[in-house]
Structure 1
Amino acid sequence: MVVSGAKRRPQTQGRGDASASETVAGLAARKAAARLLAAVIDAHTPLDGLTDNEHGHPQYKALDQRDRALVRAILVTALRHRMTIAGLLARRLERPLPANATVLSHILHVAAAQILFLDIPDSAAVDLAVTHAKSDPRTLRFSGLVNGVLRSLARAKGAELAPTLAATTEAPQWFADRLATAYGAARAEAILAAHRHEAPVDFTVKTDPSLWAEKLGGIVLPTGTVRVEKTGVTDLPGFADGAWWVQDAAAALPARLFGAIEGQRIADLCAAPGGKTAQLILAGANVTAVDSSKNRLARLGENLKRLGLSAELAHTDLLDYRPAEPFDAVLLDAPCSSTGTVRRHPDVPWTKTMADVEKLATLQRRLLAHAATLVKPGGRLVFSNCSLDPIEGEELYRVFLAGTRGVIADPIQAREFAGLDPFLTPDGTLRTTPADLVLNSPGVSGLDGFFAARMRRTI
Structure 2
Amino acid sequence: MAQTGVQARRSAVYLLDQVIGEGRLLSECIASGALERLQPAERATAQRLALDTLRGMERADRMLQKHLQKYPPLTVRNALRVATVELCQGGAAHGVVNSAVSVVGANKRTASMKGLVNAVLRKVAAAGPEAWDALRVPRLPKWLREPLVMAYGGDVVQEIEKAHFAGAPLDLTAKHDRGALHRSLGGELLESGSVRLEDSGQVSTMPGFKKGSWWVQDAAAALPVQVLAPKEDEAVLELCAAPGGKTMQLAAAGAKVRAVDSNKNRMERVRENLKRTKLEAELVVGDAMEESGQWDTILLDAPCSATGTIRRHPDLPFAKDGSEFGELIHLQSMMLDHALDLLKPGGRLVYCTCSLLPDEGEVQVEDALARHKTIKADIEALKLPGIDPAWITEEGGLRLRPDYWADKGGMDGFYIACLVKA
Out of 176, 179, 191, the position equivalent to 2:148 is: 179
User: Which residue of structure 2 aligns with residue 298 of structure 1?
Assistant: 268
Aligned amino acid, residue 452 of structure 1: I
Out of 71, 86, 90, the position equivalent to 1:97 is: 71
Quick check: 1:163 aligned with 2:134?
yes
Structure 2: gaps (5+ residues): none
1:152 and 1:230 map into 2 onto residues whose CA distance is 31
- Tell me the SS of whatever aligns to 1:239: coil
Q: CA offsets, 1:43-69, max 9 Å, x none?
A: 1100112123xx223xx3333333322
Quick check: 1:44 aligned with 2:8?
no
Aligned amino acid, residue 370 of structure 1: H
- Tell me the SS of whatever aligns to 1:354: coil
Quick check: 1:229 aligned with 2:202?
no
- Tell me the SS of whatever aligns to 2:222: coil
Quick check: 1:317 aligned with 2:317?
no
Q: Report if aligned partners of 1:414, 1:424 keep a CA contact under 8 Å in 2.
A: no
1:135 and 1:206 map into 2 onto residues whose CA distance is 47
Equivalent pairs, count: 420
Between stretches 212-221 and 110-119, larger displacement belongs to 110-119
Shift in Å, 1:26: 4.6
1:208 and 1:103 map into 2 onto residues whose CA distance is 47
Q: Report if aligned partners of 2:356, 2:413 keep a CA contact under 8 Å in 1.
A: yes
Q: Report if aligned partners of 2:176, 2:252 keep a CA contact under 8 Å in 1.
A: no
User: Which residue of structure 2 aligns with residue 147 of structure 1?
Assistant: 118
Q: Report if aligned partners of 1:358, 1:391 keep a CA contact under 8 Å in 2.
A: no
TM-score by length of 1: 0.84
Shift in Å, 1:435: 0.7
- Tell me the SS of whatever aligns to 2:406: coil
Q: Percent identical across equivalent pairs?
A: 40
Q: Report if aligned partners of 2:55, 2:138 keep a CA contact under 8 Å in 1.
A: no
User: Which residue of structure 2 aligns with residue 117 of structure 1?
Assistant: 89
Q: Report if aligned partners of 1:51, 1:72 keep a CA contact under 8 Å in 2.
A: no
Written as runs of structure 1 = structure 2, the 5 A alignment for 1:8-407 is 26-52=5-31, 55-57=32-34, 60-93=35-68, 95-97=69-71, 101-117=73-89, 119=91, 121-164=92-135, 167-231=136-200, 232-259=202-229, 261-322=231-292, 325-402=293-370, 404-407=371-374
Shift in Å, 1:251: 1.0
Q: Report if aligned partners of 2:4, 2:42 keep a CA contact under 8 Å in 1.
A: no
CA 1:374–1:220: 2 relative to 1, 3 Å: same
Q: Report if aligned partners of 2:260, 2:283 keep a CA contact under 8 Å in 1.
A: yes
Q: CA offsets, 1:57-101, max 9 Å, x none?
A: 3xx3333333322221221111010001011111222x3426xx3
User: Which residue of structure 1 aligns with residue 387 of structure 2?
Assistant: 420
- Tell me the SS of whatever aligns to 2:271: helix
User: Which residue of structure 2 aligns with residue 411 of structure 1?
Assistant: 378
Q: Report if aligned partners of 2:396, 2:417 keep a CA contact under 8 Å in 1.
A: yes
- Tell me the SS of whatever aligns to 2:259: strand
Q: CA offsets, 1:167-199, max 9 Å, x none?
A: 243432323323322211111111110112231
Shift in Å, 1:331: 0.5
Q: Report if aligned partners of 1:337, 1:352 keep a CA contact under 8 Å in 2.
A: no
Between stretches 244-253 and 204-213, larger displacement belongs to 204-213
TM-score by length of 2: 0.91
Aligned amino acid, residue 82 of structure 1: M
Quick check: 1:435 aligned with 2:403?
yes
- Tell me the SS of whatever aligns to 1:355: coil
User: Which residue of structure 2 aligns with residue 445 of structure 1?
Assistant: 409
**RMSD over aligned Cα atoms:** 2.4
- Tell me the SS of whatever aligns to 1:237: coil
Structure 1 runs of 4+ aligned residues shifted over 6 Å read: none
CA 1:97–1:243: 2 relative to 1, 3 Å: closer
Structure 1: gaps (5+ residues): 7-23
1:407 and 1:297 map into 2 onto residues whose CA distance is 33
1:227 and 1:105 map into 2 onto residues whose CA distance is 35
Which structure has the larger Rg over C-alpha atoms? 1
1:313 and 1:140 map into 2 onto residues whose CA distance is 50
1:106 and 1:132 map into 2 onto residues whose CA distance is 10
Q: CA offsets, 1:15-64, max 9 Å, x none?
A: xxxxxxxxx77544433322221110121100112123xx223xx33333
Between stretches 228-237 and 143-152, larger displacement belongs to 228-237
Shift in Å, 1:316: 0.9
- Tell me the SS of whatever aligns to 1:373: helix
1:61 and 1:284 map into 2 onto residues whose CA distance is 36
CA 1:239–1:157: 2 relative to 1, 3 Å: same
Aligned amino acid, residue 67 of structure 1: E
1:446 and 1:96 map into 2 onto residues whose CA distance is 38
Q: Report if aligned partners of 2:304, 2:353 keep a CA contact under 8 Å in 1.
A: yes
